[in-house]
C-alpha cells in the first residue's frame, strides 16, 4: 500500500511575514509552485475577538510577567481551517488536520518524528508567543513539538524548522530520493563525507576510490566512512 504524505500545511501565527523568505525560496518554494504542497499562513489577529485593536493576548491570571495568547482567537482560527476546502487528491473526505503546537515543553524533534508527521496528509502548526498559550487551547492540540531544550521568543522559527524537516520528506520535494536515504539520522548512522571537483585542490586529493568508477567499492567505502564518522562524532547513536 502506498504511504500517504502531507499535502497541506496550515500555520497559525501573529507574524506571517516572517515566513515569506524561508517558505518561498529553494526546494520548499519550488514544491509549492509545483503544487506538491498547499501551504497556508493564517494571521491569528484576523481571528481576534477584539475587532478594534485585533488584540490576541492578555495579562496572566494570578499576576506575574508577560502576556498570554487568548484561547478564543486560536479556537476561531482552527475552526476556520477545519472548515476550509481541501486541496490535493490524496486527502480522504472526513480527514481531520493533525494539530501541532510548537513548544519548548514538547517532545524534542527527531528525524523519526518528522517521518511520522510527513505521513499525515494535513498538518496545522500553532506558533506561540509571549509567555505562551492559554492552557485551555491544548484540548485541540494533538502533539507538542520542541526543536530543542532552549527558549525562543516565538514559535515561528521552530515552525519553519519543522516545516522544512517534514516537507523535504514529501516524495518529489527532493528530486534524488537516494540523497535522503543516506542522510544523517535516517538510520542510526551519520552521513558519509562528500567531495566534489577539483580532484586535486590546494595540494589535497580526493580519496582515490571515489575516482575509481567501481560502484561497489565506492558503496563499501561510504558505508565504512559513515560508521567511522558516527563513532567519532556521535558515538551515542551506535547501539
Ligand atoms: N513560557 C514558556 C515556557 O517557559 O515554556 C516559553 C514561551 S516562549 C518565550 C514563546 C513561544 O515560543 C512558545 O509558546 C513556543 O511557541 C515558542 N518556542 C520557544 N522555544 C521553543 C522551542 N524550543 N521549541 C518550540 N517552540 C518554542
CATH number (domain holding residue 199): 1.10.1270.20
Cα(139) to centroid(ligand 1), Å:
18
Distance between CA 105 and CA 101 in Å, rounded? 10
In angstroms, the CA 38 to CA 14 distance is 20
Q: What is the C-alpha separation between 73 and 13, in angstroms, rounded?
A: 11
Pick the last residue of a domain from 167, 197, 213.
167
Distance CA(190)–CA(162), nearest Å, equals 20
pLDDT of residue 87: 53
Q: Choose one of 104, 124, 126, 160 to mutate for the ligand 1 pocket test, by most ligand atoms within 8 angstroms of C-beta.
A: 104
Mutate to test the pocket of ligand 1, among 107, 151, 163 (most ligand atoms within 8 A of CB): 151
Residue 36 lies in a domain: yes
Residue 115 lies in a domain: yes
Ligand 1 site, residue 74, Cβ cutoff 6 A: no
| Residue 70 and residue 150 in one domain | yes
Residue 40: in which H helix or E strand, if any? strand 38-43
Boundary (domain end) residue, out of 167, 200, 228: 167
Whose CA is closest to 101, among 150, 148, 137? 137
- 126 part of a folded domain: yes
Task: Specify whether 189 is located in the same domain as 163.
Answer: no
User: Which of these three, 120, 138, 167, is where a domain ends?
Assistant: 167
Q: Which domain holds residue 192?
A: 185-237
> Are 193 and 162 contained in the same domain?
no
Q: Is 189 in the pocket of ligand 1 (CB under 6 A)?
A: no
User: Residue 89's pLDDT is what?
Assistant: 46
- Co-location of 198 and 227 in the same domain: yes
Classify residue 174: in a domain, yes or no: no
The phi and psi torsions of 156 (rounded to 5 degrees) equal: -70, -50
Q: Which three cell numbers stand for residue 67?
A: 502576556
Reduced to 3 states, what is the DSSP secondary structure of residue 137? helix
Say whether both 98 and 53 belong to one domain: yes
Q: Residue 181: its pLDDT value, please?
A: 86
Per residue of the chain (239 residues), give pLDDT as tens. Answer: 557 899 999 999 999 999 999 989 999 999 999 999 999 999 999 999 999 999 999 999 999 999 999 999 999 999 999 998 655 545 554 579 999 999 999 999 999 999 999 999 999 999 999 999 999 999 999 999 999 999 999 999 999 999 999 999 999 999 888 889 889 999 999 999 999 999 999 999 999 999 999 999 999 999 999 999 999 999 999 97
Domain shared by 87 and 157, yes or no? yes
Strand partners, 42: 12
Query: In degrees rounded to 5, what are phi and psi of residue 26?
Result: 55, -150
Helix, strand, coil percentages for the chain (3-state, nearest 5): 35, 20, 45
31 and 136 housed in the same domain: yes
Model pLDDT, residue 215? 98
Q: Are residues 154 and 197 in the same domain?
A: no
Residues annotated catalytic, as ranges: 104, 131, 168, 183
* Closest to 144 in 3D by CA, of 174, 105, 115, 118: 105
CATH number of the domain within which 143 lies: 3.40.1280.10
Residues 55 and 111 in one domain: yes
The pLDDT score that the predictor gives to residue 93 is 47
DSSP 209: G
User: 114 in a domain, yes or no?
Assistant: yes
Q: Find the 132 Cα to ligand 1 centroid distance in Å.
A: 6
- Domain identity same for 128 and 217: no
Chain position carrying cell 522544512: 164
Distance CA 79, CA 46 (A): 13
For ligand 1, whether the C-beta of 183 sits within 6 Å is no
- Does residue 105's CB lie within 6 angstroms of at least one atom of ligand 1? yes
d(CA 67, ligand 1 centre) in Å: 13
pLDDT at 2: 59
Cα separation, 96 vs 131, whole angstroms: 28
Strands 143-146 and 98-108: parallel
Domains held by the chain: number: 2
Tell whether 32 and 74 lie within a shared domain: yes
- Residue 176 inside a domain? The answer is no
CA-nearest residue for atom 12, ligand 1, is 154
106 shares its domain with 204? no
Amino acid at each position: 500500500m502506498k504511504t500517504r504524505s502531507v499535502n497541506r500545511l496550515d500555520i497559525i501565527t501573529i507574524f506571517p511575514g516572517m515566513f515569506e523568505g524561508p517558505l518561498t525560496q529553494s526546494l520548499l518554494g519550488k514544491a509549492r509552485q509545483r503544487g506538491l504542497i498547499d501551504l497556508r499562513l493564517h494571521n491569528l489577529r484576523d481571528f481576534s475577538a477584539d475587532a478594534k485593536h485585533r488584540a490576541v493576548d492578555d495579562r496572566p491570571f494570578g499576576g506575574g510577567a508577560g502576556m498570554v495568547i487568548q484561547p478564543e482567537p486560536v479556537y476561531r482560527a482552527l475552526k476556520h481551517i477545519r472548515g476550509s476546502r481541501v486541496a490535493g487528491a490524496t486527502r480522504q473526505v472526513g480527514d481531520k488536520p493533525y494539530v501541532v503546537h510548537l513548544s519548548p515543553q514538547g517532545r524534542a524533534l527527531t528525524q523519526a518524528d518528522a517521518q511520522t508527521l510527513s505521513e499525515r496528509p494535513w498538518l496545522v502548526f500553532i506558533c506561540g508567543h509571549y509567555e505562551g498559550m492559554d492552557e485551555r487551547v491544548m484540548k485541540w492540540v494533538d502533539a507538542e513539538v520542541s526543536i530543542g531544550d532552549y527558549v525562543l521568543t516565538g514559535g515561528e522559527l521552530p515552525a519553519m524548522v519543522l516545516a522544512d524537516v517534514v516537507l523535504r520528506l514529501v516524495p518529489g520535494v527532493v528530486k534524488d530520493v537516494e540523497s535522503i536515504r543516506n542522510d544523517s539520522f535516517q538510520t542510526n548512522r551519520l552521513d558519509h563525507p562528500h567531495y566534489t571537483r577539483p580532484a586535486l585542490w590546494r595540494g589535497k586529493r580526493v580519496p582515490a576510490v571515489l575516482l575509481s568508477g567501481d560502484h561497489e567499492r565506492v558503496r563499501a567505502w561510504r558505508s565504512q566512512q559513515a560508521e567511522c564518522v558516527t563513532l567519532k562524532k556521535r558515538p551515542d547513536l551506535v547501539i
